[in-house]
C-alpha cells in the first residue's frame, strides 16, 4: 500500500500512461462517458477500481502532461492539450 501511495503522489510515469490511455479511450468514444476506471489495483486479494469522473479529467490530464514533459513525451503532451481545450 505504501508503494502504491508513493506512486500516486509522485506522478509515476506508468500510472500517468494508464490514466491518459483510459481518459483518451473515453474521450474519443462515441458514447458520452461521464467517468472512467483509471486503473485497478489488487490489495489484500481484493480488486479496487479507481474511478475518475469527467469533472476531474482536466486536472488528471494536466498531471499526466507534466509527467510526460519530464521524459520528453511531447506528442502525448500535444494531444493532451487538444483534449483539454475540447473538455
Residue 9 scores a pLDDT above 90: no
What is the structure's pLDDT at 44?
Answer: 85
24, 78 in Cβ contact below 8 A?
no
Enumerate the domain spans of the chain. 2-86
The proportion of the chain whose per-residue pLDDT surpasses 70, expressed as a percent, equals 87
Residue carrying C-alpha cell 490489495: 43
Can you tell me the distance from the alpha carbon of 22 to that of 86, in angstroms, rounded to the nearest whole number? 17
**pLDDT tens-digit profile of 16-53?**
999 999 999 999 998 888 999 988 878 889 998 989 99
Residue carrying C-alpha cell 513525451: 73
Instruction: Tell how far CA 12 is from the center of its chain.
Output: 11
What secondary structure letter does DSSP report for 47? E
What secondary structure letter does DSSP report for 71? T
Amino acid at each position: 500500500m505504501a508503494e502504491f501511495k508513493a506512486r500516486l503522489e509522485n506522478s509515476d510515469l506508468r500510472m500517468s500512461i494508464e490514466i491518459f490511455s483510459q481518459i483518451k479511450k473515453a474521450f474519443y468514444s462515441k458514447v458520452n462517458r461521464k467517468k472512467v476506471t483509471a486503473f485497478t489495483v489488487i490489495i489484500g486479494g481484493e480488486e479496487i477500481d479507481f474511478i475518475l469522473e469527467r469533472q476531474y479529467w482536466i486536472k488528471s490530464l494536466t498531471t499526466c502532461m507534466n509527467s510526460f514533459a519530464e521524459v520528453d513525451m511531447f506528442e502525448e503532451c500535444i494531444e493532451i492539450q487538444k483534449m483539454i481545450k475540447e473538455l
